[in-house]
Chain A
Amino acid sequence: METQFLYTILILALPFCSFLFLGLFGHKLSHKVAGLIGTTSLGLVFLLSLYTAFEYFFGIGRNVQGIYQALVPYNTTWLPLGNLHFDMGILLDPIAVMMLIVISTVSFMVHIYSFGYMHGERGFQRYYAFLSLFTMSMLGLVVATNIFQMYLFWELVGVSSYLLIGFFYTEKPAIAASKKAFIVTRFADLFFLIGILIYGYYAQTFSFSFVETGSVREFASAAFMLPTALFLMFIGGAGKSAMFPLHIWLPDAMEGPTPVSALIHAATMVVAGVYQVARMFPLWIAYAPDTLHIVAWVGAFTAFYAAAVACAQSDIKRVLAFSTISQIAFMMVALGVCMPLPNGASPELIDHEFGIGYMASMFHLFTHAMFKATLFLCAGCLIHAVHSNEMSAMGGMRKYMPITHWTFLIACLAISGIPPFSGFFSKDEILEASFAYSPVMGWVMTGIAAMTAFYMFRLYYGIFWGTENKEHHAECHPHESPLAMTFPLLFLTAITLVAGFIPFGKIISADGLAYDFLAHFNWALGAKSCFIALISIGLATWIYKGEKQPIADKMQNAAPHLHRWAFKRFYLDEVYQFITHRIIFKYISATIAKFDRKYIDGFFNFLAWGTHELGFQIRGFQSGSIQKYAFIFFLGALALLLVMIL
Chain B
Amino acid sequence: MWGKITLAALFALMICGAVRFAPGGEGGRAEDSPGAAALRLMTWNVGYADLEPDTRAQTKDLPAVAETILQHAPDAVALQELTGEAQLRALLGLLGGRYRGAVAQKGRSDRYEAVLVKDAGARFTEVAAGGRYALAATFRAGGSEIVFVSAHADAFSAARRRAYTEAVAEWSRSRAGAARVFVAGDFNFELRAANETNLYTDDLKHDGESYSLLLTHFSDLGRGAGDTAVNDRRIDYVFGPRERARPRRAEVLRGAAVGRMDHWPLLVEVAL
A and B pair up: no
Residues of B in contact with A (beta carbons under 8 Å apart): none
